[in-house]
Structure 1
Amino acid sequence: MNNDIRTVKLMRRSRLTGEMMEVERKEIRCCGQWLRCDDFTTTCPECGADYNMSGDLLAPRNQWGEETGEHWCDCY
């Protein structure tokens, strides 16, 4: 697993105003491929590692919600 992170700038149309605006998105390299971190959780299809929208590696799913009693499937 590699943790290269890059920021990609994109032009998107605002849903409110219809104007074009520049947005940034994080991408993480894992198992030799770039994954877009534009969802609440991004999962590598090769190794199953989970990343947040900032490209940070998250704890294994069996540890999710341990403090609050949540189960990992509650995050979907």
Structure 2
Amino acid sequence: MITTFNGLRIHADPSLEDAIEDWSMVRSPSRAKRRRKRGFPQRIKIRMVPKKDVYQFGRCLIMHPEMVRELERRIDAIGAA
């Protein structure tokens, strides 16, 4: 999906994600970290969340599709005011 805004091309790249570790199921995070180093499995869930970063290459902006939707929402809000 490529759109344009004020001469800037906006390219949505779904691979721009960050891995977040969820330690909420772990009873003692410090103990779990020690045991994890030694190779014991832990109750850690890894969630993927969109990156908030926007990369610019020349006149092209590259961002996650959710960030594109957020940008479009903010542009529409400015235009409606």
TM-score w.r.t. the length of structure 2 is: 0.29
Larger CA Rg, structure 1 vs 2: 2
Between Structure 1 and Structure 2, the one with more helix by share is 2
Bigger relative contact order, structure 1 or 2, given CA contacts below 8 A and separation 6+?
2
